[in-house]
Structure 1
């Protein structure tokens, strides 16, 4: 099975992670900046989950 077809079969969160990694790498975002930004995104998504419960 090719990598492309494996990705097509992957769960949504894996597909999103691959897309985000590609976006960060192609825009040459430093790992430190990426991690800081992802922490903010993570906090925001947790807040949305808690408010929707």
Structure 2
């Protein structure tokens, strides 16, 4: 059993989970569709996250 998601080959990781674009800052919180505000996420994870946003920015 892998201990971390990076221990699994990328193709295996995405094979059973549909990849989606996730807004880092949700549109409901003022986020935009700019490339800098998007990341790949499993559809289930994206749905679970919903419109939550921590408001922290990376340096």
TM-score (norm 2): 0.28
TM-score (norm 1): 0.30
- Give the number of the structure with larger relative contact order, counting CA–CA contacts within 8 Å between residues 6 or more apart: 2
Which one has the bigger strand percentage? 2
Q: Which of structures 1 and 2 has the bigger CA Rg?
A: 1
